[in-house]
């Protein structure tokens, strides 16, 4: 893709208008207005390359994987495994055995809570999470807590949304079995210092799970450089299909962990007396997988590689800075989440106006925002608010769209004044 253009140069050669051509849905009109899609943290739009790759799979390659000797089954298996290799390279895992396909981030965390949990966590063992976790990184641990009588410790954050790590080392003891932490908060935008967290946890020989649902599409992820033991993300947040996600796990841990689900593909042999399990990664992939999803995810990663994740990160950072500056100029707005380092997410509240009213009025301007607790009720509780309005940006968004958002917010204030 040629990114040389003068249309929107943001310190780098990045032709956002050309990129937008790849996303058919961005041409949609909403209530007669051009769609402004700022709900990217909830899910991203799909480029034509992904849509067409999925279509090709169903038109030319559809078959079940791993179980057939016939031509189509071999093609489907080859493409499914090529997807695994594409993901391995993308996050720099050592081996494809460490790449397990799941339904998404939520299923990946549940898999770890069930499998790692049942293998390694016993009564009074401790798990560390943070106050800014998505519910999907809270509830699976609570379910485990109920079952195993384990203990959950929570790292707090300050009013900017930065984790308070001063006492982090003090939480560890010989019963600490896992740290499970979000990389980028979906409601505050905070980028957590995960490398430091991993280093500290490892100094106590405690493994670390990183919830990368909001970081995988904005940052270069190198799991070996990070040293994390698990890293999880969802395909649909990285311009791929829904219903597919990835669990990266270090091989030695995965090998020790019990299977999560039983069924086809995850076994080596079955008798009524005894079943032996398949090798990694298949041990954790029971049943027919989401073949189309894996192949679509491969296409989305190839698409992002074509642009360059560093280019994407710089441009999205420009959008974040631009939007933060503009929104901060509106006196009635309070930004929730002003951490030192942020992903392209702005949550805000407007004095005396409920976020759902803001979202509804802006929807009439064609602007798609998310309002609510964003599956982070403890974050809302911290700020004593019921909800926020959240704008989350992607590399296909423009500064002109941010200007429309600012005009929209001013309109909301006018309506309610
Ligand atoms: N973790 C974070 C930080 C998220 O933002 C989300 C989704 O918004 C999830 C986990 C859950 O992802 P999914 O619903 O794709 O499983």
Probe target for ligand 1 pocket from 186, 247, 390, with the most ligand atoms within 8 Å of CB = 186
Radius of gyration of the chain (CA): 22
Distance of CA 214 from the midpoint of ligand 1 (Å): 7
- Determine the Cα–Cα distance for residues 399 and 327; give it in Å rounded to an integer: 12
With a pLDDT cut of 90, the percent of the chain lying above it is 94
Tokens of 314: 């710089």
| CA dist list (Å): 385 to 156, 296, 369 | 17, 38, 18
Which of 275, 306, 337 is the last residue before a domain boundary? 306
319 shares a domain with 272: no
Query: Distance between terminal CA atoms of the chain?
Result: 48
> CATH number for the domain including 344?
3.90.1150.10
178 shares a domain with 98: yes
Q: How many domains does the chain have?
A: 2
- Determine the Cα–Cα distance for residues 216 and 309; give it in Å rounded to an integer: 10
* Beta strands per DSSP E along 119-251: 126-130, 151-155, 176-182, 208-211, 230-234, 245-249
**Which region among 12-16, 123-127, 350-354, 355-359 has the lowest average model confidence (pLDDT)?**
12-16
Q: Is the CB of 106 under 6 A from ligand 1?
A: yes
Distance of CA 269 from the midpoint of ligand 1 (Å): 35
| Contact (Cβ atoms closer than 8 angstroms) between residue 318 and residue 10 | yes
| CA dist list (Å): 172 to 128, 154, 162, 366 | 9, 12, 20, 49
Alpha carbon 217 to chain centroid, angstroms:
8
Q: Is residue 2 part of a domain?
A: no
Per DSSP, the residues of 220-277 read ---HHHHT-SEEEEEGGGGTS-TT-EEEEE-HHHHHHSPPSS-STTSEEEE-SS-EEE
- Per-residue pLDDT at 7 exceeds 80: no
With a pLDDT cut of 70, the percent of the chain lying above it is 97
Tokens of 168: 């982090």
pLDDT of 67 reads 78
pLDDT of 14 reads 80
246 shares a domain with 195: yes
Q: Is the CB of 136 under 6 A from ligand 1?
A: yes
Q: Which domain holds residue 190?
A: 51-306
Q: Is residue 119 part of a domain?
A: yes
328 shares a domain with 259: no
Distance of CA 136 from the midpoint of ligand 1 (Å): 7
**For 279, which DSSP code?**
P
Q: The dihedral of CA 174, 178, 182, 183: what is its sign?
A: positive
Which of 259, 277, 306 is the last residue before a domain boundary? 306
Tokens of 66: 């791993």
Q: Is residue 293 part of a domain?
A: yes
272 shares a domain with 135: yes
pLDDT of 13 reads 65
- Nearest alpha carbon, ligand 1 atom 12: 105
pLDDT of 6 reads 37
- Determine the Cα–Cα distance for residues 87 and 99; give it in Å rounded to an integer: 8
Backbone torsion region of residue 366, taken as left when φ is above 0, otherwise alpha when ψ lies between -120 and 50, otherwise beta: left
Distance of CA 106 from the midpoint of ligand 1 (Å): 6
| Contact (Cβ atoms closer than 8 angstroms) between residue 242 and residue 235 | yes
Q: Is the CB of 186 under 6 A from ligand 1?
A: yes
| CA dist list (Å): 347 to 12, 295, 300, 324 | 27, 33, 27, 10
Which of 273, 306, 339 is the last residue before a domain boundary? 306
Mean pLDDT computed over 304-328:
97
- Per-residue pLDDT at 124 exceeds 90: yes
244-278, pLDDT tens digit by residue? 999 999 999 999 999 999 999 999 999 999 999 99
> CATH number for the domain including 203?
3.40.640.10
Q: Is residue 158 part of a domain?
A: yes
- Per-residue pLDDT at 204 exceeds 80: yes
Backbone angles phi, psi at 99, to 5 degrees: -110, 110
Q: Determine if the peptide bond prior to 281 is cis (ω within 30°).
A: yes
Probe target for ligand 1 pocket from 43, 136, 182, with the most ligand atoms within 8 Å of CB = 136
292 shares a domain with 215: yes
Please, which pLDDT band fits residue 1 given cuts at 50, 70 and 90?
very low
189 shares a domain with 295: yes
Q: Is residue 3 part of a domain?
A: no
- Determine the Cα–Cα distance for residues 214 and 183; give it in Å rounded to an integer: 7
- Per-residue pLDDT at 3 exceeds 80: no
316 shares a domain with 268: no
Q: The dihedral of CA 43, 48, 54, 58: what is its sign?
A: positive
pLDDT of 28 reads 95
151-196, pLDDT tens digit by residue? 999 999 999 999 999 989 999 999 999 999 999 999 999 999 999 9
313 shares a domain with 302: no
- Determine the Cα–Cα distance for residues 289 and 232; give it in Å rounded to an integer: 17
- Per-residue pLDDT at 209 exceeds 70: yes
- Nearest alpha carbon, ligand 1 atom 8: 42
Q: Report which of 320, 253, 244 is spatially closest to residue 281, judged by C-alpha positions.
A: 253
144-162, pLDDT tens digit by residue? 999 999 999 999 999 999 9
Q: Is residue 279 part of a domain?
A: yes
328-385, pLDDT tens digit by residue? 999 999 999 999 999 999 999 999 999 999 999 999 999 999 999 999 999 999 999 9
Residue carrying the six token digits 């890293």 = 231
- Angle at CA of residue 218, ends 140 and 19, nearest 5°: 130
Distance of CA 190 from the midpoint of ligand 1 (Å): 15
130 shares a domain with 180: yes
Tokens of 54: 């999925």
320 shares a domain with 256: no
Q: Is the CB of 105 under 6 A from ligand 1?
A: yes
Catalytic residue among 10, 375, 385, 406: 375
Q: Is residue 207 part of a domain?
A: yes
Tokens of 33: 């207005």
Probe target for ligand 1 pocket from 139, 214, 230, with the most ligand atoms within 8 Å of CB = 214
Looking at the chain, how many residues does it have? 417
The predicted model scores a pTM of 0.96
Mean residue pLDDT of the chain comes to 95
Q: Is residue 192 part of a domain?
A: yes
325 shares a domain with 236: no
| Contact (Cβ atoms closer than 8 angstroms) between residue 158 and residue 215 | no
* Catalytic residue status for 228: no
- Per-residue pLDDT at 5 exceeds 50: no
Q: Determine if the peptide bond prior to 191 is cis (ω within 30°).
A: no
């Amino acid at each position: 893709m040629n990114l040389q253009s003068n249309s929107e140069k943001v310190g780098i050669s990045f032709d956002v208008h050309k990129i937008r051509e790849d996303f058919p849905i961005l041409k949609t009109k909403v209530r007669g207005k051009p769609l402004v899609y700022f709900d990217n943290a909830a899910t991203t739009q799909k480029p034509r390359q992904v849509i067409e790759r999925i279509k090709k799979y169903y038109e030319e390659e559809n078959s079940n994987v791993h179980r057939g000797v016939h031509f189509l089954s071999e093609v489907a298996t080859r493409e499914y495994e090529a997807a695994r290799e594409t993901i391995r390279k993308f996050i720099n895992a050592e081996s494809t055995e460490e790449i397990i396909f799941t339904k998404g981030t939520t299923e990946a965390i549940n898999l770890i809570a069930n499998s790692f949990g049942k293998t390694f966590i016993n009564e009074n063992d401790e798990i560390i999470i943070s106050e800014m976790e998505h519910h999907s990184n809270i509830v699976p641990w609570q379910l485990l807590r109920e079952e195993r009588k384990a203990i959950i410790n929570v790292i707090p954050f300050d009013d900017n949304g930065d984790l308070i790590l001063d006492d982090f080392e003090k939480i560890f003891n010989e019963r600490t079995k896992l740290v499970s932490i979000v990389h980028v908060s979906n409601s505050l935008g905070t980028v957590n210092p995960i490398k430091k967290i991993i280093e500290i946890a490892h100094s106590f020989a405690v493994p670390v799970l990183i919830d990368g649902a909001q970081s995988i599409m904005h940052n270069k992820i190198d799991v070996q450089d990070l040293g994390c033991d698990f890293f999880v993300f969802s395909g649909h947040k990285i311009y791929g299909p829904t219903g597919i996600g990835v669990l990266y796990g270090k091989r030695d841990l995965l090998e020790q962990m019990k299977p999560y689900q039983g069924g086809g593909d995850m076994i080596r042999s079955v008798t009524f007396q005894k079943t032996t399990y398949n090798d990694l990664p298949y041990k954790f992939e029971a049943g027919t997988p989401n073949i189309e999803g894996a192949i679509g995810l491969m296409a989305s990663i190839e698409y992002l590689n074509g642009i360059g994740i560093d280019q994407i990160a710089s441009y999205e950072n420009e959008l974040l800075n631009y939007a933060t500056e503009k929104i901060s100029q509106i006196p009635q707005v309070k930004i929730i989440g002003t951490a030192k380092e942020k992903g392209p997410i702005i949550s805000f509240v407007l004095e005396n106006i409920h976020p759902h009213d803001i979202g509804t009025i802006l929807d009439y301007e064609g602007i798609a925002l998310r309002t609510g607790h964003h599956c982070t009720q403890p974050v809302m509780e911290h700020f004593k608010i019921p909800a926020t309005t959240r704008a989350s940006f992607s590399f296909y968004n423009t500064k002109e769209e941010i200007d429309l958002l600012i005009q929209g917010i001013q309109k909301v204030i006018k309506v309610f004044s």
